[in-house]
Copies of this chain bind each other. A is one copy, B any other.
Amino acid sequence: MRVVKFPDKAEWAGLLERPHRDAEELREVVNAVLNDIKVKGDEAVKEYELRFDKVALDSLQVSENEMLEAESLVSDELRNALVLAHENIEKFHSSQKFDGKKVETAPGVFCWQKSVAIEKVGLYIPGGTAPLFSTVLMLATPAKIAGCKEIVLCTPPDRQGKVNPAILVAASIAGVSKIFKAGGVQAIGAMAYGTQSVPKVSKIFGPGNQFVMAAKQQVSLHDVAIDMPAGPSEVAVIADDMANPVFVAADLLSQAEHGVDSQVIMFTDSERLAVKVSDEVVRQLEALPRKEIAEKSLEFSKIIVVRDVNEVLDICNEYAPEHLILAVRDYMTLADKVVNAGSVFLGNYSCESAGDYASGTNHTLPTSGYAKAYSGVNLDSFCRKITFQELTADGIRSIGKAVEVMAENECLHAHKNAMTVRINSL
Kindly list chain B residues whose C-beta atoms are within 8 Å of the C-beta of A224. 373
Q: Which of B130, B406, B422 contacts A134 (CB 8 A)?
A: B406
A103 touches B109 (CB 8 A): no
Kindly list chain B residues whose C-beta atoms are within 8 Å of the C-beta of A24. 221-222
Known: A354-B389, A402-B85, A421-B250. Is A414-B256 also a contact (CB below 8 A)? yes
- Nearest CB to that of A362 among chain B residues? B387
A418 touches B221 (CB 8 A): no
A415 touches B225 (CB 8 A): no
B380 touches A385 (CB 8 A): yes
What 1/0 mask marks residues of chain A from 26 to 39 whose CB sits below 8 Å from any chain B CB?
00000000000000
A167–chain B nearest beta-carbon distance, Å: 10
What 1/0 mask marks residues of chain A from 283 to 294 whose CB sits below 8 Å from any chain B CB?
010011110001
Q: Which of B384, B388, B410 contacts A371 (CB 8 A)?
A: B384
Q: Which of B290, B335, B406, B417 contacts A412 (CB 8 A)?
A: B290
B246 touches A421 (CB 8 A): yes
B386 touches A417 (CB 8 A): no
Kindly list chain B residues whose C-beta atoms are within 8 Å of the C-beta of A276. none
B289 touches A413 (CB 8 A): yes
Q: In this assembly, does A16 line the interface, its C-beta being within 8 Å of a C-beta of chain B?
A: no
Q: Which of B85, B131, B247, B393 contacts A422 (CB 8 A)?
A: B247
Q: In this assembly, does A347 line the interface, its C-beta being within 8 Å of a C-beta of chain B?
A: yes
Q: Pick from A75-83, A150-158, A171-179, A180-188 the stretch touching chain B.
A: A75-83
Instruction: State A389–B131 Cα separation when bound (angstroms).
Output: 25
A88 touches B101 (CB 8 A): no
Q: Pick from A7-15, A41-49, A90-98 the stretch touching chain B.
A: A90-98
Q: In this assembly, does A344 line the interface, its C-beta being within 8 Å of a C-beta of chain B?
A: yes
Q: Which of B78, B256, B340, B341 contacts A409 (CB 8 A)?
A: B78
Q: In this assembly, does A133 line the interface, its C-beta being within 8 Å of a C-beta of chain B?
A: yes
Q: Which of B229, B294, B385 contacts A221 (CB 8 A)?
A: B229
Q: In this assembly, does A116 line the interface, its C-beta being within 8 Å of a C-beta of chain B?
A: yes
- Nearest CB to that of A23 among chain B residues? B221
B84 touches A399 (CB 8 A): yes
What 1/0 mask marks residues of chain A from 185 to 229 whose CB sits below 8 Å from any chain B CB?
000000000000000001100000000000001000110110001
A391 touches B359 (CB 8 A): yes
Kindly list chain B residues whose C-beta atoms are within 8 Å of the C-beta of A354. 109, 389, 391, 395, 399, 403, 419
A207–chain B nearest beta-carbon distance, Å: 13
Residue of A23, A91, A101, A386 with most partner-chain B CB within 10 A = A386
Within 8 A of B (CB), among A94-119: 95-96, 101, 103, 105-106, 109, 111, 113, 116, 118-119
Residues of A within 8 A of B (CB): 22-24, 77-78, 80-82, 84-85, 87-88, 91-92, 95-96, 101, 103, 105-106, 109, 111, 113, 116, 118-119, 129-134, 166, 202-203, 217, 221-222, 224-225, 229, 244, 246-247, 250-251, 253-254, 256-258, 284, 287-290, 294, 335, 338-362, 370-376, 378, 380, 383-393, 395-396, 399, 401-403, 405-407, 409-422, 425
